[in-house]
Chains A and B, each alone.
Chain A
Amino acid sequence: MSDVKETSITVEVVYRGIFQKTLAQRICRSIVLAARKRGHTGTAFARYGDSPERNGVPAKQFAVVAINNLELEASMAKYEPAVVDVTIAVDDTLVKGVESWAWYGRQPIWKPIRKDGFLLVTSTNTPDEVLAQTDTALRPYTLVIVPGGASFAGLWVFKDDHTDYRCLGALAKVSPDWVRLEDVKALIKEQTKDDGAVQSAQYGYDGAKLRPVKAGEGTSGHEVLQFEKPGWTTMRPGIIVNARKPGERNPQYKKYGARTLRPVVNFDTCIKCTMCWLDRPDECFEVTPEGHYEVVYQACIGCGICAQVCPVKDCIVMVDELKFEDHEDKWQFWKKDHDGYNKWFETKSGVSANPQVRTPPARQEGSGNANPSANPTSASGGDD
């Protein structure tokens, strides 16, 4: 464990813009406050260049704990630590890659994690299912599944479903030298006076599933997106960038990184009413020669508006992003292999492609509420 620093630990929380901003902040603050209980000091901050007010956009917050103020200084006045000991991803679809609001391209979730560090992911999936969507590891780390689905809230509300306590419990399991379970519990007890909340930390500790990942494990299926930052001699003068021509999409900045759910379309039942296309937030559709509206998965941010406005039941269904490997458009698939496509549609969406067959609403959790911010389930415990 040569990369381990004796004097400080850095934890990053990767979260989805706005829906989880308060959650990430609570986790980072609690890490510092729990470590304080045993005499450590620390700092908590958000990546300043992020736009955490944008729905679904991957963003980061950090907690650094150190043995004293002098050791902490190296981690202060920073936007983003280059190396972290632990990453906590509070939505498992983030393992498909993190693309910030700025133009730096999609990056593997493990990119800043040091050798033999930890990747904590809140998920209802198994470690191997999550690993199957994580970029091929270049160095070993340990994947830790924290039990529970992604907790999404809105701008002014916080969904107090104990995700933060479970994450803190799991962190205490992998970094007991820095964040002790008894300190976490004491802090939560102090803050909430709620034994159930304290129990959730214990549950996170006990229920965390550790899966060592060797270099080479993971998927190589994700697109590599790199962006070269220009120098003063290569930049265009006058703060000018090339604009997109009509119909052209940004080759550097793909928006799919913001997606937790993706729309799948039943082209058989589509009545070509244009509603999805009219209400879309961006250039996320192509019009096919036959007048269908084909989702461009490179550009779709998963906002769910198309599914909300589509007048035909189950014509557009929002499905967990972790169920998909690619970002290919699907209309050609449907054209070439009608039955094959419809089977694919049914497998992914869990609803029948045949309008005559009315499947009971058996969608997986979360997909019924396409836009999480539109319907936060709880308004309690919002302040921190």
Chain B
Amino acid sequence: MAVQVKEREHQDVETEQLMSGCEAIAEAIRLADVDVMAAYPIRPYDGVMQAAAKLIANGKMDVEYIVADGEHSQFEIVKHACAVGSRVFVGSSGVGWFYAFEAIAVTAGLRLPVVAICGNRALDDPGAFGTEHNDSLAVRDLGWLLPWAETAQEAMDLALMAWRVGEDKRVSLPVAIGLDGAFLTHSQQIVKIPTQAAVNKFLPKFDLGDRLLHPDNPITIAPQVDQDWLMEIRMQNDQAMRKAHDVISEAHAHFKELFGRGGDSPFLDEYMTDDAEYVVFGQGTLALPMKVAIRRLRKEGHKVGLVRLKWFRPFPTQEIVKSLSRFKAVGVIDRDYSFGSPYYGGVLYNEVRSALYSLDKRPTIVGFIAGLGGREIEQPMATDIFEKTKAAAGDIKSGDTCHWIGVRS
């Protein structure tokens, strides 16, 4: 591989390429010099598999690429590789992600900074390839950091952030990047690929310190413990998750300095909110059609805007409180659903409402379920969402409703 590495160094200039979100992730795997990645095909995750395999086949990347016999093994492989000091990558989608669930749970428990993507896909049944966030969100209580990307560029950037933040000793938690299936994983966009030298500046070598599983460092990882050890272990993980907030801010500032991208806030991406009265709140690619609607509605004189969430875990509560308390009404769009939850809403809706509960003056927060299974959010739907949000303003109780958008009767 030495020849190729040299060649790459020789060509170490920032380039621009037309690539899918999956290919952008594969480039990030190359740039991060990942040691071990594990693969098992399921759409849309398999896009990363193919892109990474291509980089390896073309001599552009040197990574131990293990095709597992199923998703559970896939996640166990990288968990163990991580414990012996490898930088790792893994991922899955939909029910494949669920098949790995036990391994996903223990990875966070063990504080092993595995970096994954969850190529968001509706859960079976029925088998539908389109995006829905319930797969990623199922791990929201387990101790994984969960960022969500909007574009292929952001997918690559968040992946580099993921290794940096997850592997930071103050955090040492796994990260799963949410990538909307199809819209992001399989659509090609112009992506800036940073230089290796810049990435090396951003991303230190992975070092587990005295937690490294090695014959010279005899440790036992994950022994059986009695029931009265558990709360202390959970508390440790909680502290790590809390620290992740500041570590993300730090990494974001450094990223901006090196690459000139990333926006003002590491956690929220605000669009036309300066004078906005009604905003929508959501994550992933649904921000794109909503921004189109905002420009259109503004021409008609509506003071509307958008707040896009970039990190669902750790939930940036203070940032969200500060941002959303400025508006008269907020429409939270969930590309997920939580059956039987409070007010029959989505996950984001209930988390945002909970975050704002103790404010003296809070906006009406109304819920929208949209784009499930990858249904496109069309402009009439976007208009409908803004109209309903506006109508809810001033009457806080009118937020106790979640509207299903664009569903056939």
A contacts, CB < 8 Å to B: 48-49, 79, 102-103, 229-232, 235-245
Contacts and interface: CB of A to CB of B under 8 A. Distances in A.
Contact of A241 (B220, B228, B239): B220
A160 to B, nearest CB: 33
A261 B280 CA distance: 73
B244 to A, nearest CB: 14
B232 A231 contact: yes
Top 4 nearest A-B pairs by Cβ distance? A243-B218, A238-B111, A102-B226, A232-B232
B218 A242 contact: yes
Interface string B25-69: 000000000000000000000000000000000000000000000
A318 to B, nearest CB: 29
B219 interface: yes
A48 B227 contact: yes
Contact of A240 (B221, B227, B229): B221
Contacts of A232: 231-233, 235-236, 239
Contacts of A235: 229, 232-233, 236
Nearest to B222: A239
A339 to B, nearest CB: 43
B211 A241 contact: no
Nearest to B111: A238
Nearest to B169: A237
B151 interface: no
A230 B232 contact: yes
B381 interface: no
Contacts of B226: 49, 102-103
A245 B221 contact: no
B112 interface: yes
Contact of B221 (A49, A102, A238): A238
A235 B226 CA distance: 14
Interface of B: 109-112, 172, 211, 218-223, 225-229, 231-233, 235-236, 239-240
11 contacts: A230-B229, A230-B232, A232-B236, A236-B219, A237-B211, A237-B236, A238-B111, A239-B111, A241-B220, A242-B220, A243-B219
Contacts of A102: 225-226
Contacts of B219: 236, 240-243
Contacts of B239: 232
B110 A244 contact: no
Scoring A79, A238, A245 by chain B CB atoms within 10 A of each residue's CB, the highest score goes to: A238
Nearest to B237: A237
A242 B239 CA distance: 22
A237 B223 contact: no
Contacts of A240: 211, 219-221
A242 B225 CA distance: 14
B225 to A, nearest CB: 7
Contacts of A244: 218
B114 to A, nearest CB: 13
A243 B223 CA distance: 10
A156 B217 CA distance: 42
B369 to A, nearest CB: 38
Contacts of A238: 110-112, 172, 211, 221
A4 to B, nearest CB: 29
A266 B221 CA distance: 41
A231 B234 CA distance: 11
A52 to B, nearest CB: 14
A368 B229 CA distance: 41
Nearest to B109: A239
B110 A239 contact: yes
A80 B147 CA distance: 43
A239 B223 contact: yes
Contact of B111 (A49, A237, A243, A245): A237
A227 to B, nearest CB: 11
A231 B230 CA distance: 10
A115 to B, nearest CB: 26
B211 A229 contact: no
B325 to A, nearest CB: 33
Given A48-B227, A79-B227, A232-B239, A239 B232 contact: no
B223 A241 contact: yes
Contacts of B235: 232
A202 B389 CA distance: 80
Given A232-B232, A238-B211, 20 more contacts: A48-B227, A49-B226, A49-B227, A49-B228, A79-B227, A102-B225, A103-B226, A230-B229, A232-B233, A232-B235, A232-B239, A235-B229, A235-B233, A239-B222, A240-B211, A240-B219, A240-B221, A241-B220, A242-B218, A244-B218
Contacts of A245: 218
B50 to A, nearest CB: 33
B24 to A, nearest CB: 31
B158 to A, nearest CB: 24
B56 to A, nearest CB: 30
Nearest to A51: B224
B225 A239 contact: yes
Nearest to A79: B227
Contacts of A236: 211, 219
B241 to A, nearest CB: 12
